[in-house]
Structure 1
Amino acid sequence: MHGETHKISRSGRLRAAVLGANDGIVSTASLLTGVAAANSSSHGILLAGVAGMVAGAMSMATGEYVSVSSQADTERAAIAEEQAELENNYQAETHELAAIYVQRGLNRQLAHEVATALMKHDALDAHTRDELGISDTSSARPFQAALFSAGSFALGAVIPFVAAIALPGIAGIVIAALLALVILGAVAARAGGAPVMRSMIRVSFWSSLAMALSGLTGTLFGHLAG
Structure 2
Amino acid sequence: AVNHALGKNLIGAFYQPKGVFMDLSMMESLPKREIATGLGEIIKYGIIYDADFFAYLEQHADAVLALEREAAVHMIARSCEIKAAVVSEDEKESGLRRILNFGHTMAHAIEKETGYIRYNHGEAVAIGMIGAADISARLGMIQEADVARVEALVARMQLPTKAEGCTVDAMYRDIFHDKKTINGKVNWVLMQGIGKVTCRNDVPEDIVREAMAARIGK
> TM-score if structure 2 supplies the norm length?
0.26
Greater share of helix: 1
Instruction: Give the structure with higher Rg (CA).
Output: 1
Q: Which has the higher contact order (CA 8 A, sep 6+)?
A: 1
> TM-score if structure 1 supplies the norm length?
0.26
